[in-house]
Amino acid sequence: MRLKGKVALITGASRGIGREIALRFAGEGATVAVNYRSNKAEADKVVSEIAAAGGRAAAYPADCSKVADIEALAKAVADDFGGTDILVNNAGVFVPMPIEDTTEADWDAQVDLNLKGPFFLVKAVVPAMKAKGGGRIVNITSIAGENGFPNASAYCGSKGGLANLTRALACELAPHRINVNAVAPGNIKTDMNAALRGPGQEAYVQMITERTPGGVPFIDPKDLTGAALFLASDDCRAMHGATLLVDEGWAAW
């Protein structure tokens, strides 16, 4: 087991990518703190599934766009499990719209959760990681942080910021044996983009399919868990500030 004895805090872990990473990490021996914002029932299902498989997990409510909630979350995990060894900044929001229609609230919602939240979560867990002699931080960015997309400028800005934040934090924290890296998903099949895959979106799905070298327009969230596991394990101890693209070849086109 590659994560045996480690405590992993995964934000936005009640569904989608976060859920699959939580299950994968638990299967590799990690104790998992399953963060959720509002869907306690789904978070409890993740915890129950981990427990049924012989693992250890607990659910923690927190809005990861709010610093007070972030600080309380980190403290609760430290009180229960002795601090965080692995942080996965996964919680995010995507609100596609033209710039003319984007309000200040739309901007703030995406930047606060996608960029401000990860910054302050890292700040909250770093003291414990330093005390333990090291740690792993995995930021879930996006191909929208590597490339531009129309009608998604606020989202692209937030994810591009997170990609560069990953590099900056890696430079700062590497001397403390804390590895900061990122996984950049391509188009993933999650609730967040369900509207882009529904009725009336056939032309868009066809365009995505043709634009993706791997020929898979929307990736199963499970296909991201191997990259996240690698960056959370000792196998990545020589990696700092790197981004692993899991995008069916989108960025290579």
With cut-offs at 50, 70 and 90, classify the pLDDT of residue 247: very high
- Domains of the chain, by residue range, sit at 7-192+220-246
Which pLDDT score, from 0 to 100, does residue 110 have?
Answer: 98
155 is catalytic: yes
**21-28: average pLDDT:** 98
What CA dihedral angle connects 231, 9, 85 and 30, to 10 degrees? -80
Sign of CA dihedral 182, 185, 186, 191: negative
- By DSSP bridging, strand 178-185 and strand 243-246 are parallel
Pull the structure tokens for residue 125: 């867990």
Please tell me which residue in 36, 60, 155, 204 is annotated as part of the active site: 155
Residue 19 CB: number of other CB atoms within 10 A? 25
- pLDDT of 208 above 90: no
- pLDDT of 196 above 90: no
Which pLDDT score, from 0 to 100, does residue 139 have?
Answer: 98
- pLDDT of 9 above 90: yes
Which pLDDT score, from 0 to 100, does residue 80 have?
Answer: 98
CA-to-CA distance for 243 and 52, rounded, in angstroms? 33
- pLDDT of 192 above 80: no
- For the stretch 48-74, pLDDT in tens is 999 999 999 999 999 999 999 999 999
Phi and psi dihedrals of 221, rounded to 5?
Answer: -55, -30
Which pLDDT score, from 0 to 100, does residue 205 have?
Answer: 87
Average pLDDT, the chain: 96
Give percent above pLDDT 70 in the chain: 100
CATH fourth-level superfamily of 7-192+220-246: NAD(P)-binding Rossmann-like Domain (3.40.50.720)
Which pLDDT score, from 0 to 100, does residue 231 have?
Answer: 98
**90-109: average pLDDT:** 97
CA-to-CA distance for 170 and 243, rounded, in angstroms? 11
